[in-house]
């Protein structure tokens, strides 16, 4: 068989996007393993389950459901649950985009990121829509990303964040992360017993449409491919602090 690929997501094992990803890779004759959360774990970021035990249900020889987060899924898959050495970790296809600062919150991106921490090249795939998602073009995107990875070569620390337009695809753009504009609010309500409870809500986030960003690509009907790195160092501020530190310390 072809490549050995581990897939996970944050929408849960029964999400359509994960099934589409799985079936596409099967059709390309690759060996696919699935370790995915039992329920929706959106916006769990790179969290690990450390204070309660994890439960794992074996669905088939290659499919497992866990009570953990997307990060848990990749960690346990690569630490003994599956006795294979994976060529890639693919996360998705997420129901909704992951662009700009949203990658910080995203469980989809976190699963791919955990793959890279295990020295496995990884990709996070997201559909840029929340409703009436059209997966019909995703198969061709997945094939092209596999070809791109082949061209890049076997490099352990490759992490790609791929967002797919919901409809006709005009082409592909290599992009940088854009910037969201958030308007979150804390909504307070009272339950039938008189106890307060809270929702984090607000208006749908908008974005700054800057040239070369993932937002611009999706807005214009292009697949956005953004390479992501782990180094969060602010190098401009680093240089400034180095200049002034001698006057402080």
Q: Report yes or no on 191 lying in a domain.
A: no
Does residue 92 fall inside a structural domain? yes
Domain at 100, CATH number: 3.40.1210.10
At residue 228, does pLDDT exceed 80? yes
Mean pLDDT of the chain: 91
Residue 190 located in a structural domain? no
Q: What is the pLDDT of residues 108-137, one digit of tens each?
A: 999 999 999 999 999 999 999 988 999 999
Looking at residue 241, its pLDDT comes to 93
Looking at residue 120, its pLDDT comes to 95
Domain that holds residue 119: 4-178+208-247
pTM score over 0.75: yes
Residue 125 included in any domain: yes
Residues 209 and 211: their CA atoms lie apart, in Å, by: 7
* Token pair listed for 128: 């840029």
Convert the pLDDT of each residue in 31-65 to its tens digit: 999 999 999 888 888 989 999 999 999 999 999 99
Q: How many domains does the chain fold into?
A: 1
Residue 200 belongs to a domain? no
């Amino acid at each position: 068989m072809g490549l050995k690929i581990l897939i996970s997501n944050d929408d849960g094992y029964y999400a359509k996007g994960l099934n589409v990803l799985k079936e596409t890779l099967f059709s390309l004759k690759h060996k696919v393993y699935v370790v995915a959360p039992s329920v929706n774990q959106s916006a769990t970021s790179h969290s690990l389950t450390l204070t309660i035990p994890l439960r794992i249900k074996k669905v088939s020889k290659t499919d497992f459901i866990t009570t953990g987060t997307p990060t848990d899924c990749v960690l346990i898959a690569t630490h003994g649950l599956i006795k294979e050495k994976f060529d890639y970790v693919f996360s998705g296809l997420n129901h909704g985009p992951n662009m700009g600062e949203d990658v910080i919150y995203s469980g989809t991106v976190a699963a791919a990121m955990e793959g890279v921490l295990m020295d496995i090249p990884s990709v996070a795939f997201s559909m840029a829509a929340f409703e009436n998602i059209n997966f019909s073009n995703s198969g061709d995107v997945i094939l092209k990303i596999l070809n791109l990875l082949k061209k890049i070569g076997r490099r352990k620390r490759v992490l790609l964040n791929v967002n797919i337009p919901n409809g006709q695809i005009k082409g592909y753009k290599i992009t940088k992360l854009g910037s969201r504009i958030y308007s979150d609010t804390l909504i307070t309500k009272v339950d039938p017993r008189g106890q307060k409870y809270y929702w984090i809500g607000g208006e749908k986030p908008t974005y700054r449409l800057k040239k070369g960003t993932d937002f611009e690509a999706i807005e214009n009907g292009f697949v956005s491919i953004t390479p992501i790195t782990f180094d969060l160092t602010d190098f401009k501020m680093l240089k400034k602090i180095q200049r002034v530190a001698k006057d402080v310390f």
